[in-house]
């Protein structure tokens, strides 16, 4: 069988390819003419021991070769999809479709946060009793607001695996809503602790800056920039470790300074973003320097009520540190200055530079990554106490059936546990498929999408407003790790702004009220 299919790329776009089933292989080229010219295929999937999944989205299914990640495919019609699936199953007759995860698999316990496009809940999976954070977003509202990147966020989250980044477990669509099931980060947002305890002790600020730095270094090693680092997007797990959440503004495939979207949170924007020039990984290290100031000094050095004046200060003023009752060490001040260097080429911008700075001369980063160094903050053991009562006390109503045709996002469905289901059938499938494909040549495994998943946790309600181009970036601020009471202030502009913190609002450069002034 042969014909044109759409293949989901790693950047979240669908690319039309000419596909051919050849023996136990699925091959595809950019054009039909390339097959006649003898060109090598763009990609080749080995159907032996592969898993086929009809994922419940229009005209869409996935092929997951053994020990590889899934590739998502889309036909022009349901009939054509059925023809392709049947053709592929000829070489995979024993494949079992993994059970689909759905809303009914979870019990909603209480609300963690809410925003313009939906809510974030603490949920319990009925068959295992395990708790998660569930981010719920209205597909119709996101479509009306031209929010186009929940798929990009999901693709990034499924690719990453780090001890200080939230994990994505499932994503699915049902009744006109998009759902993400993420780690439940029960400790609350860093923003809350800054509001209630700042300035934090210097060693506490250094500890959490180090955990966040290792997460940034990991993302950058995979050519991903985060672009929205702020205390609202750093959420504590139940042990007190800091985790990055909310990847709505993240961008993948950034090798040099080739990102151009104007996005982020106004107080945390790097000079190169304000200048409108292409930017890269250095923007994240600038934001880390500001976050260290906010933790240790309870002040953002360039903040101003007037957004134009704040831009000017970011571009022209040098860092000045306020005097504290307990003096801050010179190495810590020097590190912050290095991170807040206005020229990105001179800025400290690698994890190795960060680790080698004298500020961290006594820290064992290997032990830190292994979570062997006790955190300085111990959250309340009850997650409900770490989030705003206005959310956690909200009555949860039964979901109503959609009143109109639901909006579906092809390629959004994801199941982290699918590998486990596949392994349960592996022996029988391998025996049967080897019989049906004996004599055919093996082909190389290839992958379009990753299966490991970490997600955006608790930032379902944020305080400072994130700016972004709705067509390129969206801050889906309802990360599954839980959004704490401090969510309502800063809000993600072109995403599912699921953050809402009663603690205060930081003014957005493109509009928004201000109730909280850093350092004031």
Query: Is-catalytic flag, 228?
Result: yes
Asked whether 236 and 243 are in contact (CB, 8 A), the reply is yes
Question: Phi/psi of residue 197, each to 5°?
Answer: -125, -10
Q: Catalytic: which of 46, 183, 228, 237?
A: 228
Residue 36 and residue 27 in contact, taking contact as beta carbons nearer than 8 Å: no
Q: Residue 125 is inside which H or E element, if any?
A: strand 118-125
Q: CB-based burial of residue 429 (10 Å sphere; 0-12 exposed, 13-18 middle, 19+ buried)?
A: buried
The answer to whether the CB of 422 falls within 8 A of the CB of 65 is no
Give the per-residue SS3 of 360-387: HCCCCHHHHHCCCCCCCCCCCCCHHHHC
Spatial distance between the Cα atoms of 112 and 237, rounded to a whole number of angstroms? 14
Closest CA to 320 of 342, 299, 335, 344: 299
Sign of CA dihedral 345, 347, 350, 355: positive
Residue 307 phi/psi, 5-degree rounding, is -60, -35
C-beta of residue 266 within 8 angstroms of C-beta of residue 464: yes
Instruction: Give the sign of the dihedral formed by CA 345, CA 226, CA 289, CA 516.
Output: positive
135 is in an annotated binding site: yes
Q: Establish how many alpha carbons lie within 13 A of residue 354's alpha carbon, considering only the half-sphere containing its beta carbon.
A: 26
Q: In what order do the strands lie in the sheet with 43-46?
A: 43-46, 25-29, 14-22, 2-8, 71-74, 60-64, 51-53
Q: What residues contact residue 174 under an 8 Å CB cut-off, 6+ apart?
A: 102, 103
Supply angle C-alpha 367, 370, 376, rounded to 5: 70
- Give CA–CA dist 500/189, Å, rounded: 12
Distance CA(289)–CA(281), nearest Å, equals 14
Give the residue numbers of the binding site for ATP. 135
Catalytic residues: 228
Give the residue numbers of the binding site. 135
């Amino acid at each position: 069988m042969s014909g044109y299919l759409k293949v989901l790329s790693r950047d979240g776009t669908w690319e039309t390819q000419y596909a051919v089933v050849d023996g136990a292989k699925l091959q595809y080229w950019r054009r039909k003419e390339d097959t006649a010219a003898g060109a090598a295929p763009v990609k080749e999937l080995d159907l032996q021991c592969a898993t086929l999944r009809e994922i419940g989205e229009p005209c869409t299914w996935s092929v997951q070769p053994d020990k590889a990640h899934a590739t998502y495919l889309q036909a022009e019609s349901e009939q054509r999809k059925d023809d392709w699936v049947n053709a592929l199953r000829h070489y995979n007759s024993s494949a079992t479709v993994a059970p689909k995860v759905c809303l009914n698999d979870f019990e909603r316990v209480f609300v963690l946060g809410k925003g313009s496009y939906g809510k974030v809940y603490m949920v319990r999976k009925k068959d295992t009793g395990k708790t998660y954070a569930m981010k719920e977003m209205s597909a119709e509202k996101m479509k009306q607001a031209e929010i186009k990147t929940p798929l990009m966020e999901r693709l990034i989250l499924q690719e990453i695996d780090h001890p200080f980044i939230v994990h994505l477990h499932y994503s699915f669509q049902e009744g006109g809503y998009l759902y993400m099931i993420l780690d439940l980060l029960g400790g609350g947002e860093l923003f809350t602790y800054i509001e209630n305890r700042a300035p934090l002790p210097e060693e506490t600020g250094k500890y959490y800056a180090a955990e966040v730095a290792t997460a940034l270094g990991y993302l950058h090693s995979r050519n991903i920039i985060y672009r929205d680092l702020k205390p609202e997007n750093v959420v504590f797990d139940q042990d007190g470790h800091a985790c990055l959440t909310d990847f709505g503004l993240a961008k993948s495939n950034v090798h040099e300074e080739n990102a151009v979207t104007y996005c982020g949170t106004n107080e945390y924007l790097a000079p190169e973003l304000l200048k409108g020039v292409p930017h890269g990984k250095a923007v994240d290290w600038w934001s880390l320097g500001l976050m260290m100031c906010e933790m240790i000094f309870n002040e953002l050095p360039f903040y101003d009520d007037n957004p134009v004046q704040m831009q000017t200060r970011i571009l022209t003023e040098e860092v000045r540190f306020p005097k504290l009752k307990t003096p801050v060490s010179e190495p810590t001040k020097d590190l912050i200055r290095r991170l807040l260097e206005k020229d990105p080429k001179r800025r400290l911008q690698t994890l190795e530079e960060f680790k080698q700075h004298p500020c961290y001369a006594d820290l064992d980063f290997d032990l830190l990554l292994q979570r062997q160094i006790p955190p300085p903050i111990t959250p309340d053991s009850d997650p409900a106490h770490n989030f705003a009562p206005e959310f956690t006390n909200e009555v949860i109503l039964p979901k109503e059936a959609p009143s109109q045709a639901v909006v579906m996002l092809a390629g959004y469905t994801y199941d982290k546990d699918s590998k486990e289901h596949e392994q349960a059938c592996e022996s029988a499938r391998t025996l049967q498929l080897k019989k049906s494909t004996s004599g055919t040549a093996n082909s190389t495994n290839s992958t379009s999408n990753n299966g490991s998943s970490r997600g955006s946790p608790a930032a379902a309600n944020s305080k400072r407003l994130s700016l972004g181009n709705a067509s390129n970036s969206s801050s889906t601020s309802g990360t599954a790790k839980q959004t704490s009471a401090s969510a309502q202030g800063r809000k993600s502009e072109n995403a599912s702004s699921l953050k809402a913190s009663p603690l205060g609002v930081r003014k957005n450069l493109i509009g928004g009220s201000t109730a909280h002034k850093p350092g004031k």
